[in-house]
Structure 1
């Protein structure tokens, strides 16, 4: 009942002091418009849904913030969302005063925003503390939640509308696709560098009058739209299912979480307008989403263009891998753009679900709700409740007559708060009906979003958990390598419940970005400025030596922490320097790294073919070395980096004997140890056990997988010595019928014996790893519920299980003559093959 007490409390509070509802930029947001670093969006994390979820998770995990979903959704709006902030170009003859910030909330979206925050979704007068998240993340989430249109001339207008739109029917990342020549990064970096420091873009000359509309040749009394033919829409967030206005989504959730019907008389106090022919209350969910935007459309377009009502404006992102700017295809009728339509539908659906107590446990987090809805499978406890089914959900949840009535009522309220270029004296019902009809038609015919069928067939049914260490050669141009790295981080799902990333220098192995599970943190730290400060050159001797020491320290830390299993480890070298000299010291360092950190997979991605020099530094010379071609426009990232991502995905999660540390003394057996894990319904977790833990024979050596807690469906446990990702009922080319053995686990446990697993193999390096998978099997009609409420559960309906190991050993060939012998034989054979 905490949320009820919270609702009653804020309903009695004075809301006149809401800082983001005032007609000036909120004090805590002003550094986003004064600090040159934050004015340039390229220094902020990309505006993607995973980044937004990451930032919300950081707020949720802040020990000083104790709020449930309902409270946090409201407070996000009151702290970080301020719609309608525009840049106002001062007169050229006037010296810009340091006492004046040339930004203010004057765009039309602010007036609805102010009404929403002060009357419909009121909150604490005290917002989230300013130190809840750092300044970069604060500015990033502010821009992701706040809707406005910036139509200043930027210098790229001739090309921005020719870019390929971010269509929903994109090919999956695991399948190479033909990239259009126009699918490029379009931001002109030279123009950005030389731009006005206050706006970071070339501003329109204030002496030139600007057409406000094309009607009657009238001029605008102030420069609102500038001359850009493809203005920037703030508040848009990239998702696989189309760009979404995130502020509308959060507002819809808040409107449902704190649902109320507000009398129009409370919203129109002091007004002389008579709207007695409309319903006398409005819904907080409708006004926060659909009827709010439709009211803007009716009032603005109705007073300027009569009955010519239009909804929907498409656009495209500036970048395919690190989107930060969403460019509209025109500057007219921008009251209800495509991202706003999607955000309205999504926010309305989620707000309605929250209002109907979709999560009866009361433990559901805001980040989890968003993560479930924008997911390829499962959805919000029901596979139909996800973004890929947006069209079906809009038909199920949105009643036409109710939408018309709610829109008419909110027009009456907004009309008294929004300055307009005319007065609607009659015909309101026809305008609203036209707007609603156009909205429904546009939603059905024009939103080309990824369907649920394509969502499932073009995405993996496994979640990756990898500790990725990227060794970066500073010789790469930032514009070429940054999108490539972004592609990998998105592909391995860097995040709180997934993978981590560490960025190292190829010059000496020093840390550029510390190990982080936060996408937002990585992108905030790895910027153009940081890249330009890196030392050039590739020194594998120093790099491998320093990395080996760091990795061995990590193993010792895992030993202290009694670490039994979890993320895989991949070391990726991204090299742009050619003709790298490989000496005996480098070969020995790589050998020692492979021996003393047996679960680490070393990969090389180089701009020139260096197979002949790098092959003896990796475990699998045919698959661990790739030649990549990256251009400065970023047009070929997906095709080029997809093989690297696929290789990383084949490295399974680790199951280890942490007693081994980095020394692998054979007398240090594991005894009986275990770790907990969970799998999403319909997904698979893949594990790899290195022979360094089972090389010597032991009759009691085994892995035991048991189910814990209550959850739906069955678990399928598969094992193989040859198939890297074993799964049920899948035949792998080149593998015999007995290559994969699967067992069903409904209750109890599945026991896998490792007795004699290396029989017939004289050397550890010749013994193949042991591959295990745990798959959740559920039917499409299965009803999901919150059974996994632990901190480690990404989704509340995940299936929990335990992995137990018994009598794992510690074996290493480090320093033995056997390894040196086989290495020498391999080199001789390789040279003989080259001769033929």
Structure 2
């Protein structure tokens, strides 16, 4: 019986894990399969064929990493806490120094990869001082694609040999060009760290064409290995080698394995004697003290990399050591390949400096909270908070502030001592000479001093202090149900970066936003509603795009399908008993199509009807070329139309960033759960409550449309009740004008009150409005007054993005169901009846 490729891969993986389990049974010890000089059996699936070559993996971004870890944490039956999971992931997926032998061709029984890079020995020593294993890791919790992506983001190595694409990528890999000055609402900095070079599809095509495979020329041995002298027919070194095991963040690229090692070491602190880690027969250093010790959080982060600098550059460079070689990504939206600016002195790259420092900061901070204060703290939450503007329970503890913390977490005397001791441990594996302890001390001292000189110059890593603390982007998290109607005549290589860039700023996750993509030609679903950003990258690929049966953009048909989609969504919300939700945004993305003329009136009429039936939906347009041709199809042409240029250039970013800002400003929805699409309530007085959370110092903004509160019953007026949970302080404001943090007019007219454990009732009416469309909506904001880590009571994994989020409940009384379409239809009918009476 034949199995599918996926089933076969799973069977192989199970067999490999059985071999690892036998290792435990036979040896009776804690065996570390990633610390032996063969590719770990559990990682072989990532090197068996082209399926999981790097160009086929998910983007190497912090968003991807967090999404994968969240998926692991949410797997049914998982019984691992923060310490156990971080250690298990480290032992399961990280194996440094895996390189490819360019002289070996893959064939049956032969895989031209092995962990022979110089990074491997330090990695093996690190695993020895961070106890744990991955035997209980739930392999089926994530797909093979996600497993190999995780391995690629955590495992450090450098592909040093020439690839064949240097003429295209190296000429732009030696500088980071400046981006335009972004608006105060945006999170990123002025420095654009990456340059646009090759897409994943271009890299794949290069590998299959008659040229050098960009992923096939890897060293078999480190340059200092004694056997390397015999390899006389190796390719020359690339002018911009690629660094592996790195993750793109908004505050510089980091070594993912170093960050995770710091977290795991900080939660499992170890101080080990040097004499217990090295054997006498392996000594490359004379006259050292066996009683000297190394701390695992230092060996796994800064001291480990500085030791490599001391051992490899110390004996060869008489002047200054070179640390912090930086690089640039192949793409800002699809980061897969990270090209370094030099092929020399790569013992401690800029990514490793950042990752080491981040890992050490987290190693120092996490024991202050876990497990004593927050026993349920999750690894995804740690990364989500640290790599954001809010920080790990304190704005001091965030990636953009790492420079300021160097001497707090690594005082020079302590770091020098740990670097010296780490160098003694690593000398037997990577040293090219025999040293005295005094020489090692000298080299370690200089390496630490060079780091102290380098870190303050890493200006692209600093926090953006241009924004006011009252900036909308700083205090309001995006929460949007985004439906994209896509013109499928867009060239794939142009449209995917645009959508990727858009989604990256909308917090696609189970706590915030979700996205649906619909074919603008036939209305078919391309990507069904998902809150996993990795679903987009997996499903929206060149192969699937080319297989679309119909391509193009037909507005009238799209509107028909959209109306059906929105009707079904309203009815689903009624069946599920939802009382509110994310903002509802429909984004049309035409390419070169013009606004329809033959069915223009039909399209405008359909949009008008939709706005009456689905009053909370906001229609936006993002188009190539002139945006004015779509002006009649939106409510506010100045705010709802955006024009984008083609290509990942400085010209294409402003429109996408402005679109992100516009979407974030659209309030979340409050509505009567009983209405549905037909606006017929089965029980007008029955309405379910909405459980929500707000981050410390943050605000959530809502709107309720008059369809749900326009009532003539003065005895039982419609009401909104905001109930505080009793933990944390809230400030609730209501207004008939749009509430934004930076809207002074609305803030002046708002009615605000503070809550702790009590509730606040907002009574609604339409005042003197004669018709539904004349009645203004109500706007409500809920803000957390707490800005410090005073409480950590938010522990529901389905609701709480952060442990210190403040919970509250929104409930309703006496809501109604009135459709704007039916109400407006009654107006001309009434006029006709009056006219008939006058004529009698």
Q: If the TM-score is normalised by the length of the shorter chain, which range does it land in? A: 0.7 to 0.9
1:569-648 equivalence runs, <5 A: 569-581=584-596, 583=599, 584-609=601-626, 611=628, 615=632, 617-618=633-634, 620-623=635-638, 625-648=640-663
Distance in 2 (alpha carbons) for counterparts of 1:180 and 1:387 = 15
Matched, 1:760 2:768: yes
Change over 3 Å in CA distance of 1:314–1:553 after alignment to 2: same
Paired with 1:804 and 1:125, the residues of 2 have a C-alpha distance of 45
Deviation at 1:116, TM superposition (A): 1.7
- Aligned to 2:592, the other structure's residue is in SS state coil
Q: Does 1:808 align with 2:815?
A: yes
Map 1:464-503 onto structure 2 (within 5 A): 464-503=478-517
Distance in 1 (CA, whole Å) between partners of 2:592 and 2:117 is: 49
Mapped pair 1:105 → 2:119: no
| Partner SS for 1:803 | strand
Matches within 5 A, 1:393-792: 393-416=405-428, 418-425=429-436, 427-451=439-463, 453-454=465-466, 459-534=473-548, 535-581=550-596, 583=599, 584-609=601-626, 611=628, 615=632, 617-618=633-634, 620-623=635-638, 625-665=640-680, 668-699=683-714, 700-711=717-728, 714-722=729-737, 724-727=738-741, 731-732=743-744, 735=745, 738-754=748-764, 756=765, 758-778=766-786, 782-791=788-797, 792=799
Query: SS at 1:601's partner residue?
Result: strand
Q: Which residue of 2 aligns with 1:142?
A: 151
How many Å apart are 1:719 and its aligned residue? Answer: 1.8
Residue 49 (structure 1) shift:
1.2
2:836 aligned partner: none
Does the 8 Å CA contact 1:255/1:285 hold for their aligned counterparts? yes
Q: Which residue of 2 aligns with 1:232?
A: 242
Question: Residue 143 and residue 562 in structure 1: after superposition, are their counterparts in 2 closer, same or farther (change >3 A)?
Answer: same
Asked if 2 retains the 8 angstrom alpha-carbon contact of 1:40 and 1:200, the reply is no
* Contact 1:14–1:125, Cα closer than 8 Å, also in 2: no
Offset of residue 175 of structure 1: 5.9
Pairs within 5 Å for 1:332-343: 332-343=344-355
**Counterparts of 1:612 and 1:568, CA distance in 2:** 26
Q: Provide the rounded CA distance (Å) in 1 between the counterparts of 2:653 and 2:579.
A: 34
Aligned residue for 2:325? 313
Consecutive unaligned residues in structure 1, runs of 5 or more: 1-9, 823-836
Distance in 1 (alpha carbons) for counterparts of 2:92 and 2:413:
34
Deviations, residues 221-243 of structure 1 (Å, cap 9, x unaligned): 47888432221111221222211
User: Contact between 1:60 and 1:66, CA under 8 Å: does it hold in 2?
Assistant: no
The residue aligned with 2:805 is 798
* Superposition TM-score, scaled by structure 2 size: 0.86
Comparing 23-32 with 507-516, which one deviates more in the overlay? 23-32
Q: What is the deviation of 1:248?
A: 0.4
Q: Residues 604 and 626 of structure 1 are in contact (CA less than 8 Å); yes or no, is this contact kept in structure 2?
A: yes
For the Cα contact (< 8 Å) 1:654–1:687, is it kept in 2? yes
Aligned counterparts, 1:237-276, within 5 A: 237-273=247-283, 274-276=286-288
Q: Which moved more, 1:243-252 or 1:323-332?
A: 323-332
What secondary structure is seen at the aligned counterpart in 2 of 1:30? helix
Query: Do the aligned partners of 2:101 and 2:219 also contact (CA within 8 Å) in 1?
Result: no
Q: C-alpha distance in 2, partners of 1:709/1:747?
A: 4
Report SS of the residue matched to 1:628: strand
Q: 1:521 to 1:613 in 2, by over 3 A?
A: closer
Cα contact 1:174–1:642 (8 A) shared by 2: no
CA 1:598–1:16: 2 relative to 1, 3 Å: same
Structure 2 segments unaligned to the other structure (5+ residues): 1-23, 830-840
1:313 alignment partner, SS class: coil
Q: CA deviation at 1:343?
A: 0.9
Whether the 8 Å CA contact 1:568–1:652 is kept in 2: the answer is yes
SS in 2 for 1:187: coil
Deviation at 1:32, TM superposition (A): 2.3
Superposed CA offset, 1:464-515 (max 9, x none): 1111111111111222221211122122111121101111111122111121
1:27 aligned to 2:41? yes
Report the CA distance shift for 1:168/1:387 in structure 2 as closer, same or farther (over 3 A): farther
| Partner SS state of residue 237, structure 2 | coil
Structure 2 distance, partners of 1:60, 1:737, is 40
* Deviation by residue 1:403-460 (Cα, 9 ceiling, x = unmatched): 11112112111122x1443333561110011111111111123454122635776743
1:832 counterpart residue number: none
* Bigger Cα displacement from structure 2, 433-442 vs 472-481: 472-481
Quick check: 452-461 or 64-73, which moved more?
Answer: 452-461
CA distance in 2, matches of 1:166, 1:793: 38
| Equivalences for residues 151-162 of structure 1 within 5 A | 151=160, 152-157=162-167, 159-160=169-170, 162=172
Structure 1 match to 2:8: none
In angstroms, what is the RMSD of aligned CA positions? 3.4
Separation in structure 1 between the aligned mates of residue 70 and residue 452 of structure 2, nearest angstrom: 34
Q: 2:65 aligns with which of 33, 45, 52?
A: 52
3-state SS, counterpart of residue 804 of structure 1 = strand
1:74 matches 2:87: yes
What SS class does the counterpart of residue 206 from structure 2 fall into? coil
Cα separation, 1, equivalents of 2:239 and 2:512: 41
Of 203-212 and 544-553, more deviation after overlay is shown by 203-212
SS in 1 for 2:702: strand
SS in 2 for 1:271: helix
Tell me how far apart the structure 2 counterparts of residues 225 and 424 of structure 1 sit (CA, whole Å).
Answer: 32
Quick one: structure 1 residues 60 and 600, their matched pair in 2 at CA, closer, same or farther if it must change by over 3 Å?
Answer: same
Note closer, same or farther for the CA distance 1:785–1:441 as it changes in structure 2 (3 Å cut): farther
Change (3 A) 1:797 1:136: same
Q: Distance in 1 between matches of 2:688 and 2:196?
A: 50
1:84 aligns with 2:97: yes
Rounded Cα–Cα distance in structure 2 between residues aligned with 1:104 and 1:208: 10
* Cα distance change, pair 516–317 in 1 and its aligned pair in 2 (3 A): same
How much does 1:76 deviate? 0.6
Residue 468 of structure 1 aligns to a residue whose secondary structure is strand
Q: Once structures 1 and 2 are overlaid, which stretch shifts more, 165-174 or 500-509?
A: 165-174
Deviation at 1:90, TM superposition (A): 2.1
Deviation at 1:98, TM superposition (A): 2.7
Instruction: Report the TM-score when normalising by structure 1.
Output: 0.87
Rounded Cα–Cα distance in structure 2 between residues aligned with 1:223 and 1:107 = 18
Matches within 5 A, 1:308-387: 308-360=320-372, 361-377=374-390, 379-387=391-399
CA drift of 1:252 comes to 0.6
